[in-house]
Amino acid sequence: MHPSEEIKFEKSRKLEGKRICLCITSSAACIEAFYLCRELIRHGADVDVFMSEEATKLIHPNLMEFASGKKPVVELSGYTEHVSLCRKGCCDAVVVCPCTANTISKIALGIADNAVTSCVLTAIGSKVPVIVVPAMHLSLMKNDSVEENIERLKEMGCIIVEPRIEGERAKIADRETIIENVIRCVREGDLEGKKILIIGGASAEKIDDIRVLTNRSSGKFAIELVRECFERGAYVELWHGWMREKVPDYVKSREFESVEDLLKMIDDCKNFDFIFVCAALSNYIPEPMDGKIPSNIRGLTLDLRVAPRLIDKLREIVGEERIIAFKAEEKEEDLIKKAKEMSRVFHMVVGNLTSSFGSDRTKIWIFKDGDVLEKEDKKDKLAELIIDKLGG
């Protein structure tokens, strides 16, 4: 067994049975191609590697053979690898990562003068999705011809995974962003055309200039919902409070701290088809004090007022039919009673227990159209179930 087989399905089966052509060109970021290849396999993909000759001067094909379990194609042979491996029916997606300014421009002009460009042009010609991940110095990226050629690639139907601009560099997108784009390409896009907003994380209410009142919400459910909706083709935004989980780069995100900060953003909710409110928002707000409350006060009392309820304002602005409300309670019977009551009003209600905050696994109750579905599983699987139940 080749060593690359040992890691197959380590992360998921989302790319099971999918063949991906990974095309590597000669950017300094090509060292990332090794890790990307392994990550694709961890999600279950079969990977065929194509390398430009220039790329082989930066990383050796042996490394990519170790990563993928197959000899990389560096030069086309009588086997016509660009046709036999890259056309529809043989390949599910082509990922050009990293993609140099040179290769971007060649693809835009329809030049097929090496293994990589021949693979990409064949894929475009036979309607196989092509994902291009540019990486270069910013001065190259901002060159008029390169900018125009990137636009041309978009017109040709290529998905451009935008680089992270840091100082003078247009750095390769992070690995998670590239993987999520590959999965989105090959998964059934049943949410295509839908605009979905996920509001998650914990609010933090100011006590004084350095202290806040917050809660134990990790934001994990919000992240799993973002991932599921993105992979299924939706336009997704994440509005988040404090998160223990990493905020993903692959969707637009906006940050809030307090409930009142979030309320100031609420008018922008009108643009979405569905709004998931799974944030843990404070029910009480302290009267904030200037400076730092001295640390030696005995029996300090905080005055708390009741916080405005986001969900009530949201109902006024977008109507109940677009809202998916989350309800957390300590006791199962209270939860079921309250969530059932709420489900008479909202598109869908998801109930969970406060004991699940921060954990990977939990039990939920989904209330929709008078039915209730109870399920215990990992949060990623539950997110999939929630989206299955979403309906039109």
Ligand X SMILES: Cc1cc2nc3c(=O)[nH]c(=O)nc-3n(C[C@H](O)[C@H](O)[C@H](O)COP(=O)(O)O)c2cc1C
Strand partners, 128: none
Cβ contact 122:48 at 8 Å: no
Cβ proximity to ligand X: between 170 and 269 the closer is 170
**Residue 100 tokens, joined:** 């140099």
CA distance 151 to 107: 12
Cβ proximity to ligand X: between 99 and 382 the closer is 99
Least distance to ligand X from the beta carbon of 55, Å? 5
Closest CB to ligand X: residue number: 27
Q: Which helix or strand (DSSP H or E) is residue 39 part of?
A: helix 31-42
Least distance to ligand X from the beta carbon of 319, Å? 49
Long-range contacts of 150-158 (CB under 8 A, 24+ apart): 150/104, 150/108, 152/108, 153/104, 153/107, 153/108, 156/107, 156/108, 156/124, 157/124, 157/129, 157/130, 158/107, 158/124, 158/130, 158/131, 158/132
**Residue 2 tokens, joined:** 């080749």
Least distance to ligand X from the beta carbon of 164, Å? 13
Among candidates 256, 199, 206, 204, which has minimal Cα distance to 223? 199
Least distance to ligand X from the beta carbon of 35, Å? 16
Cβ proximity to ligand X: between 132 and 196 the closer is 132
Cβ proximity to ligand X: between 118 and 217 the closer is 118
> Is residue 371 exposed (0-12), middle (13-18) or buried (19+ Cβ within 10 Å)?
exposed
Question: Distances in Å between the alpha carbon of 260 and those of 121, 169, 205, 241?
Answer: 51, 37, 9, 12
Least distance to ligand X from the beta carbon of 170, Å? 8
Cβ proximity to ligand X: between 26 and 258 the closer is 26
Q: Scanning the structure block, which residue is given the tokens 């590959």? A: 182
**Residue 137 tokens, joined:** 């110095």
Cβ proximity to ligand X: between 105 and 352 the closer is 105
Show the DSSP H helices in 127-174 as ranges: 138-141, 144-155
Cβ proximity to ligand X: between 101 and 179 the closer is 101
The span from the first CA to the last CA of the chain, in angstroms, equals: 46
Least distance to ligand X from the beta carbon of 97, Å? 12
Least distance to ligand X from the beta carbon of 104, Å? 8
Least distance to ligand X from the beta carbon of 29, Å? 6
Cβ proximity to ligand X: between 25 and 118 the closer is 25
CA distance 57 to 52: 9
Binding region for ligand X (CB under 6 A): 25-29, 52, 54-55, 58, 100-103, 135-136, 140
